[in-house]
């Protein structure tokens, strides 16, 4: 394994290990691979939309398959495994326990991911990552749709098992000297998302089974021809996946709580308000799911309830931003690559949050729903905030994991390109949505004012962002093998003991 340069260990030893650092490493490698593959799909989609008509794709179905697998990959194979990997690496160290609570369960949870990933990628379904019935029941071609269902089923079980492991590790295996109000905020964020996963995911797991029996024709839960209701699926789906948005977000928030005080050389502004905001959002996050469904014909009362629920989740996020900025205020900030990504993430966090408020402001949904505004909005949170922060954390953990430093200059170039690219793509897509372009279309009418030029700007932006991630990949691989040795006490030259935690060698 390239990352274990100091003492080369045979590959099989890492693959069959149950030690949390090995499994964490496997998670990280898997998720970065998924990021690259999913990104390649996205670049293909953007390339197709550079011009109207069909160029790259022979028929719309392959385009539909590409965006389905792109979404599924980025959410379930990049975002979730990445924070699970970082959690695996750091949580046991942070709670001062020798390993995760159940190391073998941990390995099982990880090894379910490649299986689920294989099902999704070999099947290449065209249902959209939401798989709304009745399309996914009566029209989506099999066996791709079945493989997607089972792939997601396996990924869901994997994330439930991982969550149980995290919860038990944090709550029961914590060092007796360490009270729950003393563990780091990153551990808190993992605790919060693990609890949310346990509540949220089983609903979707159940609806996947219902979807499958509906496809077999032995039940008709969501099939109106058999007396079912497609909207029921949407409720079940979003009851899982709106909280899931916070599940993607909170680990990034926790990572920012690691990065920002360190590079500002200042203690955190308020630990308590960070914890309070985590707990608040973990609860309120469940009160807003149907804001994805304002257009399905809900009553005015329902819409009002879910608008209020959505708006109620905003102050908690705003508290985090306040906390970060107050921490940076009066500090002596070193703009190393991890902090660059962190600050970039915070800047885009406001934009995506404001866009989210617009989406939920009831009548404005008539403008934004299922348009490119929505595409721009959720990519701004997932790519702009979550992925940029995750990327910063890759750089942050790099010396800890490999014992070597990445190339600082290449990292800075990566940040600038990624940040500019993200703004080009996703801010443009917001405007494109206001001009009425629907999402998930392979071809568009070039005579619509502004559509052509904005699509081209977005495509160029996507290429810039794609290029930046290639730079990262080269940088990481090269530096892992031949980078300069990191000063393990203070790799970023902050001038103080850097990591609160020591590098841990896997036991055998």
Partner 1 sequence: MSSDLGQGNLMSPRSNIWLLLLLFSPVNVLVLSSFDNVFAQEAEEYVIRRVEIWALFYRLMVAAFVVGAVVQGAIVYICWRFRESHKKNRIREIEGV
Partner 2 sequence: MGHATIEWVYVGVVVSLLTWVGAESWNVERLVEHVPPEAETIRVIAQQWFWTFEHQDGKKETGQLHVKQGVPYKFELISKDVVHDFNVPDYTILMDAVPGRVNVVWNLFDKPGEYPIQCREYCGFGHATMRAKLFVEPFSQTAEAAEKPAEAQNATSAQAQAQAPVQTAGPPGTPLTILEGSSVQGSPSYDPATLTVKKGDKITVTNKDTLPHTVTSGTGPTDPNSAKQFDTSIIEPGATADIETTNINPGQYPFHCTVHPYMTGKLVVQ
Q: Give the binding site for partner 1 (CB under 8 A).
A: 264, 321, 325, 328-335, 343, 346-347, 350-351, 354, 357-358, 361, 363-364, 366-367
**Exactly one of 111, 212, 322, 501 binds partner 2 (CB under 8 A); which one?**
322
Q: What residues form DSSP beta bridges with 438?
A: 371
Q: Which is nearest to 44 in space by CA: 472, 466, 482, 334?
A: 466
Whole-angstrom distance between the N-terminal and C-terminal Cα of the chain? Answer: 16
The full DSSP string for 250-301 is: HHHHHHHHHHHHHHHTS--S-HHHHHHHHHHHHHHGGG-GGGGGGGGT--HH
The full DSSP string for 471-491 is: HHHHHHHHHHHHPPBP-TT-T
Distance of closest approach, residue 451 Cβ to partner 1, in angstroms: 19
Q: Which is nearest to 293 in space by CA: 247, 239, 336?
A: 239
Distance of closest approach, residue 45 Cβ to partner 2, in angstroms: 13
Distance of closest approach, residue 127 Cβ to partner 2, in angstroms: 9
**Exactly one of 440, 478, 503, 504 binds partner 2 (CB under 8 A); which one?**
440
Q: Tokens 């509540």 appear where?
A: 199
308 binds, among partner 1, partner 2, none (CB under 5 to 8 A by kind): partner 2
Distance of closest approach, residue 414 Cβ to partner 1, in angstroms: 18
Phi and psi torsions of 362, nearest 5°: -35, -65
Going 68 to 69 to 70 to 76, the CA torsion angle's sign is positive
Residues 258-277 that bind partner 2 (CB under 8 A): 269-270, 273
> Applying CB under 8 A, does 296 fall inside the site for partner 2?
yes
> Applying CB under 8 A, does 287 fall inside the site for partner 2?
no
Phi and psi torsions of 404, nearest 5°: -130, 160
Going 504 to 30 to 348 to 189, the CA torsion angle's sign is negative
Of the pair 116, 433, the CB lying nearest partner 1 is at: 433
**Exactly one of 142, 143, 217, 315 binds partner 2 (CB under 8 A); which one?**
315
Of the pair 124, 322, the CB lying nearest partner 2 is at: 322
Residue 505 tokens, joined: 């060698």
**Exactly one of 139, 332, 484, 502 binds partner 2 (CB under 8 A); which one?**
139
Distance of closest approach, residue 492 Cβ to partner 1, in angstroms: 12
Q: Tell me if 61 sits within 8 A of 481, measured CB to CB.
A: no
Of the pair 267, 330, the CB lying nearest partner 1 is at: 330
Distance of closest approach, residue 355 Cβ to partner 2, in angstroms: 13
CA distance linking residue 361 with residue 299, whole number of Å: 15
332 binds, among partner 1, partner 2, none (CB under 5 to 8 A by kind): partner 1
H or E element at residue 155: helix 144-172
Residues in the chain: 508
List contacts with partner 2 (CB under 8 A): 53-54, 59-61, 64, 126, 128, 132-135, 138-141, 224-225, 228-231, 269-270, 273, 295-297, 300, 303-304, 307-308, 311-312, 314-315, 318-319, 322, 326, 357, 361-367, 369-371, 435-436, 438-445, 448
């Amino acid at each position: 394994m390239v990352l274990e340069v100091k003492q080369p260990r045979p590959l099989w030893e890492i693959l069959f290990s149950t030690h949390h650092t090995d499994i964490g490493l496997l998670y990280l490698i898997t998720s970065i691979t998924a990021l690259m593959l999913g990104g390649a799909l996205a670049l293909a989609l953007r390339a197709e939309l550079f011009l109207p008509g069909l160029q790259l794709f022979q028929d719309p179905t392959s385009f539909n398959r590409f965006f389905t697998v792109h979404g599924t990959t980025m959410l379930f194979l990049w975002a979730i495994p990445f924070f699970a990997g970082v959690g695996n690496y750091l949580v046991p160290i942070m709670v001062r326990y020798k390993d995760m609570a159940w190391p073998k369960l941990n390995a099982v949870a990880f090894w379910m991911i490649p299986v689920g990933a294989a099902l999704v990628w070999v099947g290449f379904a065209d249902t959209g990552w939401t798989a709304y019935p009745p399309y996914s029941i009566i029209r989506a071609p099999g066996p791709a749709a079945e493989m997607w269902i089972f792939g997601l089923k396996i990924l869901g079980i994997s994330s439930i098992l991982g969550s149980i492991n995290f919860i038990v590790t944090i709550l029961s295996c914590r060092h007796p000297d360490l009270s729950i109000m003393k563990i780091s905020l990153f551990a808190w964020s993992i605790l919060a998302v693990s609890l949310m996963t346990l509540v949220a995911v089983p609903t979707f797991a159940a609806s996947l089974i219902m979807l499958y029996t509906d496809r077999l024709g032995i039940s008709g839960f969501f099939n109106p021809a058999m007396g079912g209701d497609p909207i029921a699926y949407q409720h079940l789906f979003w009851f899982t996946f709106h909280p899931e948005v916070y599940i993607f977000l909170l680990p990034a928030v926790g990572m920012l709580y690691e990065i920002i005080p360190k590079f500002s050389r200042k203690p955190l502004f308020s630990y308590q308000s960070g914890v309070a905001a985590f707990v608040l959002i973990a609860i309120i996050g469940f009160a807003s799911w149907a804001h994805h469904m304002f257009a399905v014909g809900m009553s005015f009362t329902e819409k009002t309830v879910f608008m209020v629920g959505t708006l109620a989740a905003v102050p908690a996020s705003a508290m985090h931003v306040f906390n970060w900025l107050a921490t940076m205020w009066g500090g002596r900030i070193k703009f190393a690559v991890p902090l660059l990504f962190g600050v970039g993430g915070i800047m885009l966090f406001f934009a995506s949050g404001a866009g989210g408020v617009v989406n939920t402001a009831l009548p404005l949904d008539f403008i934004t729903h299922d348009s490119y505004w929505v595409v721009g909005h959720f990519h701004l949170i997932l790519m702009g905030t979550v992925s940029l922060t995750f990327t910063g954390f890759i750089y942050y953990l790099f010396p800890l994991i490999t014992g070597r430093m990445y190339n600082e200059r290449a990292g800075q170039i990566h940040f600038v390109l990624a940040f500019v690219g993200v703004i080009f793509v996703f801010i443009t897509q917001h405007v494109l949505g206001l001009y009425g372009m629907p999402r998930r279309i392979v071809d568009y009418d070039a005579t619509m004012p502004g559509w052509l030029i904005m699509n081209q700007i977005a495509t160029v932006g996507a290429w810039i962002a794609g290029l930046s991630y290639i730079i990262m990949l080269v940088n990481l691989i090269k530096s892992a093998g031949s980078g300069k040795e990191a000063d393990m006490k203070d790799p970023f030259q902050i001038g103080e003991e850097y990591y609160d935690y020591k590098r841990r060698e896997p036991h055998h």
